[in-house]
Chain A
């Protein structure tokens, strides 16, 4: 019995480390420790071992079993490791570029618009939207523009020339206090060239509350331009940053009081406010150093990729 156990263990020690494939391993495992395995068979012989030898032989059987299991475990671990290794290909070349598509890009006008609305949100402005095709009422009449004003054409419906129509809609709909920013597309009968575009984008702000002053407007503009251009930016109402853009603040200041709206709650003695706007293209041109407005509308991918 002792000899048989020793022989079994020696055979396993020789055979198991040589196994390479899992089926061979499973077969070998069955041969040794399966229901019909050799060790199982030897263990069944324990009944016939003389009583006085039982403690010794039993101990030997257990030792053999433990040793055999260690061989099996080692073989299995080796085979599993080989299997995992087989699932990997050769090592990669980490210097090759990824063939997968990268991120796309936001259009610079979107980036500037989002930056502006983010800046304004921090001081309580929410973004509103309105239609681009407007009626004369919202585009001109409600803005205190006389019907015979040179800026007002006579079509029934028209492409809005400014986003102030959105302010009118907001004021008619809601009650003050109002803090809104209305970015959007506007239209002019301009011939397209490096600085003009038939449609372009404006961003207008409206704030209506009690006791809003010109100084508050200045404070907001200071804050906006410090946010855009850095803390040390000194803003003047007509800073030369805008020397080559539309006379934003000139127009803005002249429009800095509440447009007349026929709604009883807008008693100018109670409510005051300011509105101002800027051209997003002009702002983007300034911030990014772009020198031709047409690039925004050509969508050359080399252009689009520069601002992400």
Chain B
């Protein structure tokens, strides 16, 4: 919200307080100052009106002149000033910055010599005074202002506009009066309310029969209070200069006196108001009702709006004329011909205004204030101010009574608090008198005071109606410390009891993943959670894309929740490739959204990619990554979650797999199932997909996702298991199997038979594959897999004989099971 300094000055005396101090005060009381905008001239010291008496050419410089300038007796009378401007002609009255003046940009004016000629000040251009961009010549002052007059008395008054963010808990501060109240409290000044002279008792004229006679509210819940006043005989025209200037300063375009005064009252009190052309209302009654479904209105912005029965309207006998609290209709607006007005000042429920505004996609300064909540108990005061200003600046007279519908339950809220309580919550002491004074400056009134044994006086504060946010004693602590000055809170040492808890398992997992992958040369990325539809369609099963879509995306390319992290990593890779930056290895940890039992579930995930084409060259090339590189890193991710990937069934991603379209069929694999808690997919990214993304070279990637409740964090503390100190016996075994046979199946079969063959006498320690061979000696469509078997006994050295007996049995058993042993 934008606030004008000169406007605030009406309610609190800010004279002598710098803009910076005001800005600081606004910040200290709890609002963020986003911007300070100055309009017109800043305040100058030692810059006065001067009268050029003589002008001579500078003896040493073509373009300079030496002038004598009268700046008034109190400023040293006639001074000699060297000037470079073309228009320093005799007789001109110009701004003169005297020695000691500081111009914008911290430009200090001193007694000086310019090319050997003494110069005692500087004549200024508009640009040097920062009131305009014109630097061509001196600012010529018209109207023969008296010499020596401070320049600010001559220049049009400037203003300073503070653009501040009002927190949602403080709708009372969405007005000049509200912020002035805070400033008055901070600077310990008096708050001056506008003088409102109108009272209903002053109404002299009776109601005109052709104009509004009554108001009916059929939606009391959404409109707790409605007031309408008829003013006849007004003259629509431009509003007074001060209103126009103030509105313009805070960014509102002046329109006419009636509209401007409405805006003025809203920005003054925070209470939105509205003025109708009374003659344009059909019939003699205003009805505040819900709209009929399909009912239409053309709003002031010229657009037709279709309404429904949730929306509240102000209607005449025929049609809606205003969407309550949001925007008036084009038909009933005030025009140059308007002579009779209906002034509406009302309270509409914030939920109603909010949902209507959202449904229609229509917001205004008025709806903004209603949505945040207005103080119904200050409504009459604002209404009277509205009438006052209309009568003063548009003329006319109030005709008939104020139509006021709705009962206001009297505002009453009291909070009891003691200085002891406040000091206890603060952890340091503020004198009781200072506390009380601070709260009273915010117009909290002590209605009762009782002594207590040890905590000072128990004050009962009556809370003003506009401070609905003050509900509990703790809220008053905050008010006290706010006005005491948070910067004055003394420092102290931290009292820290030891807590046994550890960091969340998810945090530990992410931390371990990051350090493992950083150790393996991966750069950590952070991508947006919300992804474009196209990307999600590539990574999520088709049936789930709909579930991932946001109900109301803010921007088109962030319309879906992500189901994979790989899409984001590819986007990062593409960006780096486009910029010619090597991005060989990237990873990310974060949440993904996967379907579990028909419902979207937020899962913990980590993903990585390895790009073949990095643009980097090396004097000694290293072996390129392949599917098994991706598998290794995927296994690392799984291992960090306590899952041994090599022991899990792993399925090749085959052609036509709907759930994994962005992976390359035949070159990527998947393990686990999120329905059972986790899933991993790794391998080559579909070449077609890479091509579509404009990525060059192959990309291997992997993602591991786990249900958040399955992340277990600290594993159980391991127990020591004895390990054999006896020598091992090794045997190699190669079998020929059909090409499609998974190696893990062969390995398991060998292990099963080897374990059986070793029996109880000794143990099979491991079976490890060490060779995969196709070609000469192996039939077409088959492959040879060679395994190293390690046997060991815990208590003795195995003899060759006993191992051979077992090994022969293994081979015989395998042959019996249909395997061909390769000799």
Which residues of A does B touch, CB under 8 Å? 96-97, 99-107, 109-110, 114, 117, 121, 123-124, 126-129, 131-133, 147-151, 154-155, 159, 177, 179, 185, 187, 189-192, 198-199, 209, 211, 213-216, 218-220, 222-223, 236-238, 246-247, 249-251, 253-254, 256-258, 268, 272, 296-302, 304-305
A103 to nearest B CB, angstroms? 6
Which of B424, B474, B503, B528 meets A268, CB within 8 Å? B474
* Complex interface: chain A residues within 8 A of B31 (CB): 247, 250
B270 to nearest A CB, angstroms? 14
CA distance A103 to B521 in the complex (A): 4
Complex contact B503–A107 (CB within 8 A): no
Complex contact B518–A187 (CB within 8 A): no
The answer, yes or no, to whether B168 is at the interface (CB within 8 Å) is yes
Complex contact B526–A129 (CB within 8 A): no
Complex contact A223–B494 (CB within 8 A): yes
CA distance A128 to B505 in the complex (A): 9
Complex contact B581–A300 (CB within 8 A): yes
Complex contact A124–B498 (CB within 8 A): yes
A218 to nearest B CB, angstroms? 5
Which residues of B does A touch, CB under 8 Å? 27-28, 30-32, 165, 167-169, 349-351, 354-355, 371-372, 424-428, 472, 474-475, 477-478, 481-482, 486-487, 489-499, 501-504, 506-507, 511, 514, 517-530, 551-552, 554-555, 558, 561, 572, 575-576, 579, 581-587, 590-591, 593, 600, 602, 618-622, 708
Complex contact A102–B521 (CB within 8 A): yes
B705 to nearest A CB, angstroms? 14
Complex contact B521–A104 (CB within 8 A): yes
* Complex interface: chain A residues within 8 A of B527 (CB): 297, 299
Complex contact A105–B590 (CB within 8 A): no
Assuming A105-B518, A268-B474, is B427 touching A213 (CB within 8 A)? yes
Assuming A127-B504, A150-B372, A199-B530, is B486 touching A99 (CB within 8 A)? no
Which of B27, B492, B497, B587 meets A247, CB within 8 Å? B27
* Complex interface: chain B residues within 8 A of A220 (CB): 494
Which of B350, B481, B494, B506 meets A214, CB within 8 Å? B481
CA distance A103 to B587 in the complex (A): 13
Complex contact B584–A101 (CB within 8 A): yes
Complex contact B555–A214 (CB within 8 A): no
Complex contact B424–A132 (CB within 8 A): no
Which of A129, A189, A223 meets B507, CB within 8 Å? A129
Complex contact A215–B528 (CB within 8 A): no
* Complex interface: chain A residues within 8 A of B495 (CB): 216
A-B CB contact pairs (8 Å), 28 listed: A96-B619, A99-B618, A104-B524, A107-B525, A126-B499, A126-B502, A133-B593, A154-B355, A159-B530, A185-B590, A187-B529, A189-B554, A198-B558, A199-B530, A213-B428, A216-B427, A220-B494, A222-B491, A247-B32, A249-B486, A250-B30, A254-B167, A298-B572, A298-B575, A299-B527, A300-B579, A300-B581, A301-B523
* Complex interface: chain A residues within 8 A of B355 (CB): 154
Q: Which 9 A-B pairs have the closest CB atoms?
A: A213-B427, A215-B427, A237-B486, A299-B572, A101-B521, A148-B351, A299-B525, A247-B32, A127-B503
CA distance A133 to B708 in the complex (A): 13
* Complex interface: chain B residues within 8 A of A179 (CB): 496, 499
Which of B496, B525, B579 meets A124, CB within 8 Å? B496
Q: A214-B481, A219-B494 are in contact. List 20 more A-B contacts (CB 8 A).
A: A96-B619, A99-B622, A101-B585, A103-B518, A114-B511, A123-B496, A124-B499, A133-B602, A148-B349, A177-B497, A187-B529, A198-B558, A214-B426, A223-B494, A237-B487, A258-B474, A299-B523, A299-B525, A299-B576, A301-B582
B207 to nearest A CB, angstroms? 37
B752 to nearest A CB, angstroms? 40
B19 to nearest A CB, angstroms? 15
* Complex interface: chain A residues within 8 A of B503 (CB): 117, 121, 126-128
* Complex interface: chain A residues within 8 A of B424 (CB): 211, 213
* Complex interface: chain B residues within 8 A of A198 (CB): 528, 530, 554-555, 558
* Complex interface: chain B residues within 8 A of A216 (CB): 427, 492, 494-495
CA distance A133 to B298 in the complex (A): 39
Q: Which of B31, B486, B521, B522 has the most C-beta atoms of chain A within 10 angstroms of its own C-beta?
A: B486
CA distance A297 to B582 in the complex (A): 17
Which of chain B's residues has its CB closest to A249's CB? B486
Complex contact B350–A148 (CB within 8 A): yes
Complex contact B426–A257 (CB within 8 A): no
Complex contact A185–B622 (CB within 8 A): no
* Complex interface: chain B residues within 8 A of A254 (CB): 30, 167, 169, 478
Complex contact B529–A199 (CB within 8 A): yes
A267 to nearest B CB, angstroms? 13
CA distance A236 to B522 in the complex (A): 39
* Complex interface: chain A residues within 8 A of B506 (CB): 129
* Complex interface: chain B residues within 8 A of A185 (CB): 529, 590-591
Q: Which of B497, B524, B593 has the most C-beta atoms of chain A within 10 angstroms of its own C-beta?
A: B524
CA distance A297 to B32 in the complex (A): 27
Complex contact B523–A305 (CB within 8 A): yes
Assuming A126-B499, A185-B590, A247-B32, is B426 touching A213 (CB within 8 A)? yes
Assuming A99-B618, A128-B504, A215-B492, is B478 touching A257 (CB within 8 A)? yes
A237 to nearest B CB, angstroms? 4
Complex contact A301–B528 (CB within 8 A): no
Which of chain A's residues has its CB closest to B24's CB? A238
Complex contact B591–A132 (CB within 8 A): yes
Which of chain B's residues has its CB closest to A189's CB? B554
Assuming A104-B524, A149-B168, A198-B554, is B492 touching A127 (CB within 8 A)? no
Which of chain B's residues has its CB closest to A97's CB? B619
A96 to nearest B CB, angstroms? 6
Assuming A126-B503, A179-B499, A254-B30, is B478 touching A199 (CB within 8 A)? no
Assuming A211-B424, A298-B572, is B354 touching A150 (CB within 8 A)? yes
Which of chain B's residues has its CB closest to A133's CB? B602
